[in-house]
A and B are shown apart, each in its own frame.
Chain A
Amino acid sequence: MTERVIQVDALARVEGEGALYVRLNGREIEKVEFRIFEPPRFFEAFLRGRDAHETPDITSRICGICPIAYIMSACQSIERAMGVTVSPEIEDLRRLIYCGEWIQSHTLHAVLLHAPDFLGLHDAIQIAQSNPDLVKKALRLKKIGNSVMECIGGRAVHPVNTRVGGFFRAPDLTAVRALIKELDWGAQAARELALHFAGFDFPDDEYDYHFVSLIHPDRYPITEGRIGSSRGLDIAVEDFNAHFHEDHVAHSTALHGHMRDGSSYLVGPLARYANNFDRLTPGCQATAREAGLGPVVRNPFKSILVRLIEVQYACEEAARLARAYVPPDPPFVPTKARAGEGHACTEAPRGICYHSYRVDADGRIAQAQIVPPTSQNQPQIEADLARVVADNLDLSDKDLKWRCEQTIRNYDPCISCSTHFLKLTVDRV
């Protein structure tokens, strides 16, 4: 028997600290572990006893890349616990700032962090050296997302203008309208990037994923909807725990999400796209078709294309919302402390982000539950790795390691979020 170990001690181009360990005995895979060793941060525990209104600002600190996901899921949960309904104008403004987060997060990952895998390059610096116009386009596109977040939220990282009930102040109409021109450019730029990247040499890999995402009858889901799946699940957000659960495993400080029957599932761009293709704009659907994609994409390596189509969507949607913007008056709905329980789920760039809070009569958090997307995807990431390793046993250790890292980056894993990752080891016994 020949033992073979593939190990990456600190995965690059992902957020947070984690590792990968693969041990092979001849051609048999003995172990595949996506190890997360980012320290656990105990957010759910230290929220207890805090004023419920602090929850969005505290949970936004879970991640500097996707704070809006935490803010929005937290706000909606607390509002439901307190029996508050916000105005359509506030809902639209929330969708607009969320589009900004999708634009900046997806662009950073797809072009600057994931594309090097397909170009045989080490990092974005090498792309900048070989194709400066590509990187300049990506930087301008990412900046549009940041600008949307700054305009609505006061700043791009950990926005300060959001609150339970809405916004501290309504953004200025002129400032919001000023975003439109760049957003229109951004939609076209994202389309061009998707069509450019469609020419990559994608690994031949397909899997019949169980796609789980928000679903909505009218809109591509971002801030609202029921939880649905490619296998017929269609549930209210508050029933999340009846169908999903999280387990602790020894090799990860992040919990692993499973269906109640123990099976894995996938959240994120591929799931949203598969479950809601009809709700994409005609322009985005056209880009998908021209990029060679059908309404369901089962090749995880093509998630890079779906991310860029979602950037196009987010730019188009943000421009639409900016054109229709009416400053909400009042900018927030006042809340009164009362005992209650609230659940909410929104679509973070990496997939559904579920929050649940129980609030006591004084308006303090009695119990909190936060389920980020990377936790939910961990078992599926390990399943993908096992499949990719099995299909590529004849690759050299160096090439196999590269392919494994690329497989993990298909998910744009956010390890800081999930711990509330990466070291790669492949053992060939």
Chain B
Amino acid sequence: MSDGAGNTPLIVGIGNRFRRDDGVGPWVAETLKEAGHETHVHAGDGTALLDLFAAHGDIILVDATRSGAAPGDLIRLDAGAEPLHADMFHYSTHRFGLAEAVETARALDLLPERLRVYGIEGKDFGAGIGLSDCVERTARELVRELALVPANDA
């Protein structure tokens, strides 16, 4: 269970696997699902994320970033403690994406008890499948990290 009182976080991969590195979030979620973790792949606009926030007390969001950092760079954010900046994330549908969903939830006091965000800087957001080498390397490291750390302590 990933309710606030449970033991493992829900890992949510965000993005479009048909837009190359934008698919890194779903790639991480699907890889961890194969290892038995509770995961969810999110596509579409960000409002549905608020429904997930209402249903789970501990959530890890994994998304591609386009912040200007070096491709493959990993950022870790504690969304409960610091605001997210919309310009950082690539994913957006009608400009209501991850950051808008998190910040709207914060304003409405709907954030889950624990919400962590992992962003991997993408290199190629063009049409197609498959991750860039540098992005996949980081994604594999993140999978190892999320798979190995004790529950509630990722």
A113: Cβ under 8 A from any B Cβ: yes
- Decide: A146 and B104 in contact? CB cutoff 8 A: no
Complex Cα–Cα for A136 and B50 (A): 10
Complex Cα–Cα for A417 and B85 (A): 27
CB-CB < 8 A to A109: which residues of B?
A: 94
CB-CB < 8 A to A129: which residues of B?
A: 107
A39: Cβ under 8 A from any B Cβ: yes
CB-CB < 8 A to B96: which residues of A?
A: 13, 108, 112-113, 124
Known A14-B95, A129-B107: A41·B43 in contact at CB below 8 Å: no
- Nearest neighbor of A123 in chain B, beta-carbon distance: B100
Complex Cα–Cα for A65 and B103 (A): 21
A170: Cβ under 8 A from any B Cβ: no
- Decide: A41 and B94 in contact? CB cutoff 8 A: no
A395: Cβ under 8 A from any B Cβ: no
Q: How many A-B residue pairs have CB under 8 A?
A: 64
Complex Cα–Cα for A61 and B95 (A): 18
Give, as a whole number of angstroms, the nearest-CB distance from B2 to chain A.
20
B51: Cβ under 8 A from any A Cβ: yes
| CB under 8 Å from chain A, chain B span 67-101 | 93-96, 100
| Partner of B45 from A64, A125, A128 at Cβ < 8 Å | A64
Give, as a whole number of angstroms, the nearest-CB distance from A65 to chain B.
6
Q: Which of B51, B103, B107 has the most CB of A within 10 A?
A: B107
Known A41-B127, A143-B51, A157-B44: A135·B93 in contact at CB below 8 Å: no
A12: Cβ under 8 A from any B Cβ: yes
| CB under 8 Å from chain B, chain A span 49-72 | 61, 64-65
Give, as a whole number of angstroms, the nearest-CB distance from B22 to chain A.
12
CB-CB < 8 A to A13: which residues of B?
A: 94-96
Q: Would you give the 0/1 interface string for A103-142, flagging 1 where the beta carbon is closer than 8 Å to chain B?
A: 0000011001100000000011100110010011001001
A15: Cβ under 8 A from any B Cβ: yes
- Decide: B47 and A139 in contact? CB cutoff 8 A: yes
The main secondary structure of chain B at its interface with chain A is loop
CB-CB < 8 A to A389: which residues of B?
A: none
- Decide: B47 and A112 in contact? CB cutoff 8 A: yes
Complex Cα–Cα for A113 and B45 (A): 12
A352: Cβ under 8 A from any B Cβ: no
- Decide: B94 and A135 in contact? CB cutoff 8 A: no
CB-CB < 8 A to A39: which residues of B?
A: 126-127
CB-CB < 8 A to A143: which residues of B?
A: 47-48, 51
B108: Cβ under 8 A from any A Cβ: yes
CB-CB < 8 A to B126: which residues of A?
A: 39
A270: Cβ under 8 A from any B Cβ: no
Give, as a whole number of angstroms, the nearest-CB distance from A275 to chain B.
26
Q: Would you give the 0/1 interface string for B30-53, flagging 1 where the beta carbon is closer than 8 Å to chain A?
A: 000000000000011101101100
CB-CB < 8 A to A12: which residues of B?
A: 95
CB-CB < 8 A to B48: which residues of A?
A: 143, 146, 156
Complex Cα–Cα for A142 and B50 (A): 11
Complex Cα–Cα for A143 and B53 (A): 14
6 A-B pairs closest in CB distance: A128-B107, A157-B44, A15-B94, A125-B103, A129-B107, A128-B104
Q: 18 pairs across A/B with beta carbons < 8 Å?
A: A14-B94, A64-B43, A64-B45, A64-B93, A65-B94, A108-B47, A108-B96, A113-B95, A124-B96, A124-B100, A125-B100, A129-B107, A132-B108, A132-B109, A142-B47, A156-B48, A157-B43, A158-B43
